[in-house]
Amino acid sequence: MDYQVLYILVAGISFAATVIDWLSSTVSERHHIHHDTYEPPAALFRYLVVVMVGMGLLGVVAGITLDATLAQESFPAVMMFFAAFEVVLFVLWFAMRRYKVVTYEDHMVVTPFIGRTVSIAYQDISALRWCRFRFGFSDVSVDVFVEGRRVATLWSGIDTDQVLMTIDRFDVLDVPGVCAW
């Protein structure tokens, strides 16, 4: 059986991620006259691309080594491991690149990892609650509620403090350990 497709998959995914990362913006926070844009840090994406390239190279070298030593029975399993690792990490990386929060004077637009973009007017926010969605960062994320329903999460990977200052709705911010009478 010919497994050349696995070589192409393992090397191609890391090459595609490298090209996309190289062509993309390296600024994670942009301030404009009428809006501000917050994205996850570019260094995070660069590190994930380095991991993809490293695993891609390791997969190709392991495949060539197994092919040269005539260990044909373990070749498909090893190459499938590297291909699955590359695909899963690429999907995670691509979904994370999509996340962004754009704040305007009276509303914000949140583009989540998966799902449709949500526009939220600041006066419609009924609650802001800290949540434990930690994804490699020390800060906690903030859930945004409109009419008692969670509509978006401000991920801790962006500058949530700056976004909260722009929203300026500290009257609805849930502060743990403090009771509002």
In a shared domain, residues 76 and 121 = no
In a shared domain, residues 84 and 110 = no
Cross-strand bridge partners of residue 143: 129, 153
pTM, full prediction: 0.71
Q: What is the CATH number of the domain that holds 109?
A: 2.30.29
In a shared domain, residues 29 and 89 = yes
Confidence of residue 143 (pLDDT cuts 50, 70, 90): confident
Q: Decide if 105 contacts 36 (C-beta within 8 A).
A: no
DSSP state of 137: S
Structural domain ending residue among the three candidates 45, 77, 98:
98
Please state the rounded mean pLDDT for residues 34-53.
85
Name the least confident of 28-32, 75-79, 165-169: 28-32
Is residue 181, in this structure, part of any structural domain at all? Answer: no
Bridging pattern class, strands 125-131 and 173-174: parallel
Please state the rounded mean pLDDT for residues 158-162.
79
Over the chain, what is the mean pLDDT?
Answer: 81
% the chain with pLDDT above 90: 13
So what's the pLDDT on residue 109? 94
In a shared domain, residues 109 and 149 = yes
Q: Decide if 169 contacts 125 (C-beta within 8 A).
A: yes
Structural domain ending residue among the three candidates 75, 98, 121:
98
Domain region containing 139: 105-174
Pairwise pLDDT comparison (76 vs 90), residue with the higher score: 90
Is residue 59, in this structure, part of any structural domain at all? Answer: yes
| Exposure string over 51-60, b if 16+ CB within 10 A, otherwise e | bbbebbeebb
Report angle CA 93, 95, 96 to the nearest 5 degrees: 65
Is residue 153, in this structure, part of any structural domain at all? Answer: yes
In a shared domain, residues 67 and 111 = no
Structural domain ending residue among the three candidates 80, 98, 116:
98
**Cα(110)–Cα(141) distance, integer angstroms:** 14
Residue 107: how many other CB atoms lie within 10 Å: 16
In a shared domain, residues 151 and 89 = no
In a shared domain, residues 15 and 88 = yes
Pairwise pLDDT comparison (122 vs 180), residue with the higher score: 122
The tally of domains found in the chain comes to 2
